[in-house]
Every structure is written in structure tokens, then in C-alpha cells.
Amino acid sequence: MEKLSYVGKSLPRKDAEIKATGAAQYAADREFSGMLHAAAVRSPRPRIKILSISDAKARKVPGYVTLVTHKDIKGVNKWPVVMQDYPFLPEGEARFAGETVALVVAGTARAARKAASLVEIKYRELPSVDDPLKALEKGAVKIYGKDNVISSFVIKKGSVDGAFAKAAFTVEGEFSTNYQVHAYLETQGSIAVPEAGGGMTVHSSTQCPFYVLDAVAAALGLPYHKVKVLQTVTGGGFGGKEDVPALVASHAALCAAKTGRPVKLIYGRKEDFQSMSKRHPGWARVAYAADRNGKITACRVKYVLDGGAYSTLSPIVLWRGTVHAAGPYKIPNVDIETFAAATNKVPAGAFRGFGQPQICFAQESLIDELAGKAGLDPVQFRLKNLLNPGDRTVTSQRLKSSCGLSELVQAVRKRSGWDKKAGSPRVRGDIASGIGFSAAYYGVGLGAKGRYLDRAGAYVNVYKDSSVNVNVGNAEMGQGALTVLAQIAAETLNAPYESVRVEEVDSSKVPDSGPTVASRTTLMSGNAIIEAATPIRERVFRTAYSMLTGMGADASEKMIAAGGVFSMGGKSVPFKAVVAECWSRRLKMAEQGWYAAPRTTFRMRDGQGDAYVIYSYSADAAEVEVDLKTGVTRVKKIWAAYDVGKIVNPRLALGQAQGGILQGMSWALYENLVYKNGIMVNPNFTDYVIATTADKPEYDITFIEKPYAEGPYRAKGMGEVPLIGVAPAVANAIKNACGARVKSVPLLPEKVWKELKKG
């Protein structure tokens, strides 16, 4: 057994005190001398031809400074994210209601908002489309390219038609899921500060500072070395601060460049709803075939995501959904076709799970139906078909290691009392109780589609007083990255945990490390920190050994390094003293590290090959109560088990699990963003309902560690896994309780009630 001092321990969060006491400085808290404020002028309709923009009335507002339009862009008017089709500010056409058309700058935030409301846009409304399936029809209004397809992928393997023809059991169904709003507590915000010599420093609430760097440099037409991005304390992200903060920061920077003064741009909640990314709505038609023994023989999927008006991250989100579309099962024959369709609605982007929860809801609901047709218990059916070490995924990737899925399923089966509960749902008066199950796997990192971004840098500096400063390119947004990465650095150096500080990202201190998404921070930045710290560790350990032998320690004994102390033969010396000696010997005490994910073999033409380097796994069981008169569903308890490799900080992992479960349950039952004729009608927390602590179920969470040899201290990735399987587990529990199979998320009471009335 490897003896570790810090990794695997529930050490306190590095940022707990400043957040608990209110000392943390978010973007809205930062102030600069001479600072101005900006506000956005937004498109009122789903698709318009802009004829003119007038600030004549806005000029009368006290404190008004200027109007910023596309004419003020010195660089290129294309936001550099994936497909580069989104203008920083539209030149002639705005493509969704809420799109930023221009920006007003004023002396106060109140004056900026007032002036923005008085800017007049003369426009002609253009034909629009708000349904992704209709957008794909041949006669649809063309709003994107030749066919409104932003992106599409396939996975082809074996003979699907032949397998269905020979199958003993088949199922097919259509499923849909709605948007999910990130509901981060801190809305989007950025401050841009002009620097001497024509540079720009940007303070941004973001989980991907290097996306901000790309965008600001492009919009201002500046070389990268003249742009610095400083991540402010970020009040939640969940994917919603991956791509779009770059747009917000670029707008602030354009205003700062025009005025020559610092400019702060902080969004209100309504405009954050209307204009920032969401979880993609999804539609899927899925079919499975199985033989008489209950083995799945084929899967056919058509999966469509509503990408909104611009591509943003849709190609990457869609690709992940494609790879995982058949579920975590051994299936020899597969035909998967997926599309991201353009509509005149808010562009959708990253959200925890990244295109996988939508299709997981469909396929895990159908797996229950197929089990029923085969006459098997849903859990037993899954166990018969689950991927195990040595098996191949639908992309023909062999799982060589770190795969504990069957053990997870067995653990949840036992802990939930599944065998007793599943076959005997209970009805007491008007309340029916039932239990449902789901299983999922999740590719850690960006995979083959995003491999050009799958790298990370780190800089480790040990000061002469033995304090340790770590800079990384991945961001803390509430998930505990500062803590986990400090544990990894402390473990590698044998430095006291209290002496290690991991900084929020400064783009000038570390190379572009890609986005903080896809449960990749621990794996990527952790490995980069280890690479940076290892040469320093060797110098420290050699010096400690030299000091101990100089003190008379028996050199034949093994030196022990643990808890910030080096000991040998009854002698010991603390890390602080060793570092002081390293400095006196003029040893190098700072290093850079770099980690790039191994290459994958995935082929885009047929979807075959290794899609991800490694996978994490989950199993969920949900117990619900359904009111048979109203359809109202309450989740009583969720049992969950995860294989995410070595757990670096158990308390933080538990918090991630609880948060992911509640967020998944909230999407499953409550969250219902409504569009009518291309206009969002409930952009607020009054009418858009999310789960609160009052709604949370009881949790039973367990971790089964299947170490990943290439991970930092054998860890994989955790952040997104807990959300993915919750919605289908809840839907399956409703079906078990009362017989109602609801095929669209959210599982609203009226939908359950309607299914109950059918019969």
C-alpha cells in the first residue's frame, strides 16, 4: 500500500474562509480608478436585419460616455471558438432575441443600463426557425449554412439491420429534454483595464481564461503578449463560464479600448438568462435489439441537439453525446447518427455532462423497457450487458484498466435493497412508491474531438521561507480545484499542506492549458504539477538526505518523507529547514510542468477507435413517491456509486456527488425554460424553478476506487459524473411506481398525470 500524507485525506478547502466570511473578491467587487461601466443593447426579436442604431436619446442620460458598435472593432469580428461564426457585435443581422447588438458606456452602472434602454434599433424582422427538427427539414428557412446543420457525426459498426431482423426482442422510442440554466450564483462579469503601451488586462469570472485571451486579442487586434487575463474568484460555472465569458470580456475590452479607461461589465440575471449559454435541448429516437438470452445485439440512434443561433461549443458537445449514445454496454452492431441544428434561439453550450445527460435519459429509459420485454430484472439485464475490463465499447475501444462499473451496479443494488423493492412497488392511499436504476460511463478529458486542447501547464515555485506557490491554467469555480491541486503539490514535495498556495489563473504565468471542463482538472493540472514539482522534489530529498547523514543518521537506513518531515535513523529535519539549505546551496527551486493527453485513434468517418484515454463510471438508484391524483413526484432517496479512480479529497468528492445529484434531479423534475415564437418567456428565478435544499433527497453515496495508473496519484475525473444518470433513474422509478413512462424532461406533474390517465 502506498503511504500518502495528504492525498486521500479530507483536508480543509483552501478558499473556504474567504468565501464563508465574504472576503472573496468577485468581478463585481473589484474597483479601479476612473472606472466606467458598460451595458448591453440587445436584439428584441429572434432574427432581425439591423438598419440603424441611434444613441440620440441615450446621450441625454447624465454620465453617458459613448456607444460601441461593430465599427469599433480593430481586430476581426469573429469570436475564435471552434467554428468562428459568432460576431463579437453583429454588423447587419442579429440572430436571436437577447443578442448583444451594441454597448453603452457611462459613469455608473445605473446610467449605463438606463442609456442602453434608450438606444434605438431600427430593424426589419427576418424569417426565423425555433424548432431544431423543423430546421433540419428540406423546406426550412435557411439560417445557417446550406442545411442548418452546425455539426454531425456517425458511429457505424457491424450489421444493424441484420441484427434487428434476427432479434428476439426490440424496443424503440422517442425522447426529448429541455434546456437547463446553469443557475450559478454569480452572473457573468468582467473588467477590462487599458495598460501603458497599448495592452489590456482583463479580470474575468471564467472557468476558461485562455478562451478569454483568444477572444480579447482577436477583438482588439493585439498580439497575445499585450493581453493578460486574470481569473477573478468565480461564483459557480457548471460549464456556463466556459465559452461565453470570452464574449463578455471582449465587450468590456472593446469599451475600455475606445474610452481609454477601465470598464466594468456585470450582467443582470434576466440578460444572463436571455443571452448566455444553456444545456442543449435534445431529441432522440433510440432502438435496441436483444437475443433470447437477454444480450443486446444492436443499437440504432438518431440524436439531435438544438444548438441555437451560433455554433459555440455544439460540435464538441454533440461529439461526446455521440460517443456515449448507446450506453455503457457491449453491443456488436451500432448505427448512430447525430446532428446539432441551428435555430434562432440562444446559443447552447457546455453544461455538466456535456451532451451526455440528454441521450442517457433516452437510452437508460429504453434499457428498462428492453429488460421488461426480455423478462429480466432491469439491474440483472444491465449486469448481463455492461462493459467490463477487456470489453470493447461501441467505438471498438478496448477497456484495458480502471473499470469498476459492474461493482458499482452491484453495490447500488445491495445498498438500495433493490431486489426487494423493484418487484413490489407500494401504493398507500394516493401515494405510489417505486425505485428506478441507471448506469453510465463518462470519457474523462476532451477526447479525440478536443485533443488539440487537451493539455495543461503548471509552474511551481518554492520560496526561501519554504512556502510554495503553484500556478496552473485550470480554474477554480467552486469545485475545490485549489484544494485538490494543493494536496497533489504538497504530496509530491513533502511540503506541509498549509504552506502550499494555488493561485487563480494568470494567463501570463502559465501556457494555454485548455478549458476547465470535462472533469479534466485533477488529471491534467495534477499531472502537470507533478512534472513541475518532481525535479524540485529530487533536490529537496537529496538535500534532506545529506543533512540527516550530516547529523549522524545511519545512511544504511531508508529515509522516510511524510507530513512535511524527513527522518532517518532517529534523526529528523523539517521541510522548512531543508528548503533553507537548498537555497543556501543555490539550487533551482522553481520549475514548469506540462502534461498532454495521450493521442487517441478515433476515426471521424465511421466513429471507430479510441475515443477517450480513460473513463469514469456511475450507477444510480432513485426511490420516488408519486401522487396519483396530481402526478407530483418527490424523490425520497438516491443511492449512487462512482469509480473515479483514487479519491484525492473524500469530503470534496462527497460534496461534488451531492451537488451533481441535486442538479440532475432538478433538471429531471423542475427546470422548464419556455420559449414562445422565439422569445424566452421566463428568464428569472421566479418562473424558472430549480431544486433547493428543501427538495433534496436523502443521499447514499459510495466510491469504489479503481486506480488509473497514468493519473496523478491514480486519480481520474469526478465533477460531471454524478449528474448524468439521475434523470433516467428518476424516470424509471416513476414507471416502477405507477406505470407512467414519461419520455420528456422535465418530468412535470402534468406529464405524469397525463400518462396515468392513459392507463
> How far, in Å, CA of 191 to CA of 680, rounded?
28
Whose CA is closest to 592, among 652, 546, 534, 545?
534
> How far, in Å, CA of 392 to CA of 200, rounded?
50
Confidence check: pLDDT of 240 > 80: yes
> How far, in Å, CA of 434 to CA of 623, rounded?
6
CB 304 within 8 A of CB 155: no
User: pLDDT band at 518, cuts 50/70/90?
Assistant: low
Q: How far is CA 115 from its chain centroid?
A: 35
**What percentage of residues in the chain have a pLDDT greater than 90?**
94
Confidence check: pLDDT of 266 > 50: yes
For the sheet containing 48-54, what is the strand order? 93-94, 48-54, 120-125
Q: Which residue has the cell 456511475?
A: 618
> How far, in Å, CA of 297 to CA of 289, rounded?
6
| pLDDT tens digits for range 537-590 | 999 999 999 999 999 999 889 999 999 999 999 999 999 999 999 999 999 999
User: pLDDT band at 689, cuts 50/70/90?
Assistant: very high
Distances in Å between the Cα of 14 and the Cα atoms of 235, 480, 483 are 15, 8, 5
Summarize the confidence of residues 359-366 as an average pLDDT.
98
DSSP 64: E
Dihedral, CA atoms, 131, 136, 137, 138, nearest 10 degrees? 140
CB 349 within 8 A of CB 317: yes
Dihedral, CA atoms, 542, 544, 546, 551, nearest 10 degrees? -170
Dihedral, CA atoms, 530, 25, 197, 229, nearest 10 degrees? 40
| pLDDT tens digits for range 110-125 | 999 999 999 999 999 9
Confidence check: pLDDT of 222 > 70: yes
Confidence check: pLDDT of 264 > 50: yes
Confidence check: pLDDT of 1 > 50: no
> How far, in Å, CA of 86 to CA of 79, rounded?
6
Beta bridge partners of 574: 565
CB 353 within 8 A of CB 720: yes
Q: Which residue has the cell 401522487?
A: 627
Categorise residue 208: left if φ over 0, alpha if ψ from -120 to 50, beta otherwise: beta
Q: How many residues does the chain have?
A: 759
Distances in Å between the Cα of 584 and the Cα atoms of 465, 590, 653 are 12, 15, 40
CB 447 within 8 A of CB 743: no
3-state secondary structure of 79: coil
Beta bridge partners of 190: 204, 265
Whose CA is closest to 240, among 294, 310, 176, 312?
312
User: For all residues of the chain together, what is the average pLDDT?
Assistant: 96
State how beta strands 227-231 and 120-125 pair: unpaired
**pLDDT value for 651:** 96
**pLDDT value for 563:** 97
Distances in Å between the Cα of 515 and the Cα atoms of 43, 223, 332, 483 are 29, 21, 34, 19
**What percentage of residues in the chain have a pLDDT greater than 70?**
100
Identity (one letter) of the amino acid at 15?
D
For the entire predicted model, the pTM comes to 0.96
Categorise residue 304: left if φ over 0, alpha if ψ from -120 to 50, beta otherwise: beta
3-state secondary structure of 627: strand
> How far, in Å, CA of 631 to CA of 557, rounded?
70
DSSP 339: E
Query: Residue 110 CB: number of other CB atoms within 10 A?
Result: 13
> How far, in Å, CA of 200 to CA of 227, rounded?
5
Q: Which residue spans within 580-661 are E strands per DSSP?
A: 590-596, 615-627, 633-643
> How far, in Å, CA of 740 to CA of 759, rounded?
8
> How far, in Å, CA of 726 to CA of 749, rounded?
18
Q: How far is CA 298 from its chain centroid?
A: 30
| pLDDT tens digits for range 69-125 | 999 999 999 999 999 999 999 999 999 999 999 999 999 999 999 999 999 999 999
CB 287 within 8 A of CB 167: no
CB environment 593-618: b (16+ within 10 A), e (fewer):
bebebeebebeeeebbebbbbbbbbb
| pLDDT tens digits for range 732-759 | 999 999 999 999 999 999 999 999 998 7
CB 273 within 8 A of CB 181: yes
Beta bridge partners of 475: none
Spell out the SS3 assignment of 154-209.
EEEECCHHHHHHHCCEEEEEEEEECCECCCCCCCCEEEEEEECCCEEEEEECCCCH
Please say whether the dihedral angle defined by the alpha carbons of residues 342, 345, 349 and 353, taken in this order, is positive or negative: negative
**pLDDT value for 2:** 62
State how beta strands 189-195 and 296-308 pair: unpaired
3-state secondary structure of 509: coil
**pLDDT value for 697:** 98
List domains and CATH numbers for the chain.
Answer: 16-22+455-596 (3.30.365.10), 31-126+182-275 (3.30.365.10), 282-448+602-758 (3.30.365.10)
Dihedral, CA atoms, 144, 222, 457, 618, nearest 10 degrees? -20
Identity (one letter) of the amino acid at 307?
G
Summarize the confidence of residues 445-468 as an average pLDDT.
91
Q: Which residue has the cell 441615450?
A: 58
DSSP 348: P
